[in-house]
Amino acid sequence: MQMPARHDFVVVTAHLPVEPIVMNRHERVRWQPKRSGVHAALHPVVAQRHGTWVGWHSLDDRQTGRFNSDGISMQPVPIPALDIHDHFGGHCQTSLTPLYHDGAEPPRFNRRWRHAYRRVNDRYSHAVANIAAPGATVWVHDYQLQLLPAMLRLRRPDLLIGFFLHVPFPPIELFEKLPQRTEILGGLLGADLVGFQSRRSSANFCQAVTEFGEYRMDGDVVHPDGRHVSIGAFPTSVDRVGFERLARDQRTRRRAAQIRAELGQPRTMLLAVDHLDPATGVEQRLDAYHELLADKRLDPNTTVLVQIAVPGRQYGMDRPDTWTQVERKVAQINGLYSWITRPAVHLLHQTLDSRELVAFYLAADIMLATPLRDGMHINAKEYVACRADNTGTLVLSEGSGTASALPEAITVNPYDVDALKAAIVGAIELGGPHGRKSEMRRMRRRLHEYDVHRWAADYLDALAGPAPRTPAGATPPGPASHRPRPTWSGPAARAHHGT
């Protein structure tokens, strides 16, 4: 029997960064790269470090062997259809997502979903344990896999395990509602380093550990079972070089000019890119835009809003229909303020490839990144990365981790529709060819200093700190045999948080 390949650097996400396309009657599968959000940030890091990627392949009840995509080794994790429904659609989408985003919609809890969450995390643990080389570095990502670090440590105590949460970690008043709170804390503390997007999330986690766990803390270091687990903030960045290269490409620039022409050459184009979820603030943004048109502070003849609503996986769950609400608001605005050939709002409910998305970034005068709560609004940083001529204006939510990373943006409380209206008008009035070039220049300089490779290097350097690891098969030693890890928030995190 052939032994599975062993890998020294393993990245684990809920989904692989590919979309399966089933071809012909023999059901052969072609894998199409799909990069957005977490995947977009991680792809250049995994490629540069010649790592392997573990995740679900998005095919129900199908066994699929290892394959390569874009030069990266992909290790699929098979998941039964019922567990897909209960894990992703139930516990992740319906219990955790609302809770971790300030309760923008009420979370719902179900014991069957929690059991599925446990089983699916264990499947990932088994898959990683089989392919990781002795002493390998394993980097686990996001809220779908919060039990995985502890499960993996039981199977492979020799591994160096990192965990990074891309969504916000909730304040204790919300986290205490979670029936699984103690198990999740224990799962996360199976890692050697738990990373967050912001100091606020890091502080929330430390408070939860102190409140609900019988763990000793020393600054930003937790001591579960005699081990040393560091806690830190590492704000995610983007592949600056890749986005700049795509933005300078003549085909992309021609497409950006074509978009402006198709929109009727507006004086001002506003752009927003969001998943359809109550926490993304799409409805509040549409309300603000509607009122600005009604108050005649914006002219629909010269201003247009393009809202790209990226479809999300729903897994058949009965959730609040954000799409219906958004469609209704867009129809109302367009019914009152559009011409036949010039809608006031263009709503695109689709996933765009990288070139098309960059073309929209280049075409837009103003980017509205105003989620109610978000870990790190990656689209905001992508917009900045594409503006090589230092034009364009970014309106950014205080509820996003990006706000502290890009303080030169126009920041706004997304719950305050009047403040949102003022921010939009202010962005238009301050715009023009020279209006905010200095601010954009400073934001771009920040991305030059702290791109996605710097983010990954800061995190992985902290993960590979001085504390020794337990040899395979050994019982984890007590505290006397360990050297404490340094308190870590990362130099870039300190710079971006004003400390």
Show me where the domains of the chain are located. 7-236+456-494, 241-449
Q: What is the pLDDT of residue 123?
A: 96
Query: Nearest 5 degrees, angle CA 443-CA 447-CA 449?
Result: 115
Q: Give the Cα separation of 322 and 333 in Å (integer).
A: 17
- Model confidence at 213, in pLDDT bands (50, 70, 90)? confident
pLDDT at 472 over 90: no
Q: Which of 66-70, 93-97, 296-300, 319-323 has the lowest mean pLDDT?
A: 319-323
pLDDT digits (tens, 9 = 90+) for 99-120: 999 877 889 999 999 999 999 9
Read out DSSP for 452-492? HHHHHHHHHHHHT-S---PPTTPPPP-GGG-PPPPP---HH
Residue 344's contacts (CB-CB under 8 Å, 6 or more residues apart) are 293, 300, 303, 304, 305, 333, 334, 337, 338
Distance CA 410, CA 444 (A): 15
> Whose CA is closest to 364, among 255, 455, 473, 489?
255
Q: Coil, helix or strand for 17?
A: coil
* 362 CB burial (10 A radius; 0-12, 13-18, 19+): buried
CA dihedral 57, 59, 63, 69 (to 10 degrees): -40
Lowest mean pLDDT among 3-7, 108-112, 286-290, 375-379: 3-7
CA–CA distance, 416 with 395 (Å, rounded to integer) = 14
Tokens of 256: 């950006």
For residue 371, which amino acid is it? P
Report pTM.
0.89
- What residues contact residue 425 under an 8 Å CB cut-off, 6+ apart? 292, 297, 298
Residue appearing with tokens 């059991």: 115
Q: How many CB atoms lie within 10 A of CB 83?
A: 18
CA–CA distance, 140 with 123 (Å, rounded to integer): 14
- Which tens digits make up the pLDDT trace of 435-453? 679 999 999 999 999 999 9
Q: Is the dihedral of CA 150, 400, 100, 12 positive or negative?
A: negative
Nearest-angstrom CA–CA distance, 438 and 416: 27
Band (483; pLDDT cuts 50, 70, 90): very low
Residue 434 is predicted with a pLDDT of 59
8 A C-beta contact, residue 34 and residue 69: no
Give pLDDT tens digits for 122-164: 999 999 999 999 999 999 999 999 999 999 999 999 999 999 9
> Please, what is the average pLDDT of the chain?
87
Q: Which CATH class is domain 7-236+456-494?
A: alpha beta
Q: Assess whether pLDDT exceeds 90 at residue 475.
A: no
Report which of residues 166 and 483 the model is more confident about. 166
Counting residues of the chain whose pLDDT is more than 70, the rounded percentage is 86
Confidence of residue 21 (pLDDT cuts 50, 70, 90): low
Indicate if 241-449 has the same CATH topology as 7-236+456-494: yes
- pLDDT band at 315, cuts 50/70/90? low
In sequence order, the β-bridge partners of residue 367 are: 271, 394
State the burial class of residue 195 (Cβ atoms within 10 Å of its Cβ: 0-12, 13-18, 19+): buried
Q: Which fold has domain 241-449?
A: Rossmann fold (3.40.50)
Q: What pLDDT score was predicted for residue 474?
A: 33
**For the residues of 106-163, what is the DSSP string, one character each?**
-----HHHHHHHHHHHHHHHHHHHHHEEEEEEEEEESGGGTTHHHHHHHH-TTSEEEE
pLDDT band of 226, cuts 50, 70, 90 = confident
- How big is the CA angle at 292 (ends 428 and 341), to the nearest 5 degrees? 85
Q: How many CB atoms lie within 10 A of CB 224?
A: 19
Q: What is the pLDDT of residues 229-244, one digit of tens each?
A: 999 999 999 999 999 9
Residue 385 has pLDDT above 70, yes or no: yes
pLDDT for 492: 35
Residue found under tokens 């446990």: 118
Q: Check residue 35 and give its pLDDT.
A: 67
DSSP 156-219: -TTSEEEEE--SPPPPHHHHTT-TTHHHHHHHHTTSSEEEESSHHHHHHHHHHHHHHS--EEET
DSSP annotation of 4 reads P
The pLDDT score that the predictor gives to residue 24 is 54
Q: Strand, coil or helix: what is 428?
A: helix
Res. 216: pLDDT tops 90? no
- The phi and psi torsions of 109 (rounded to 5 degrees) equal -120, 145
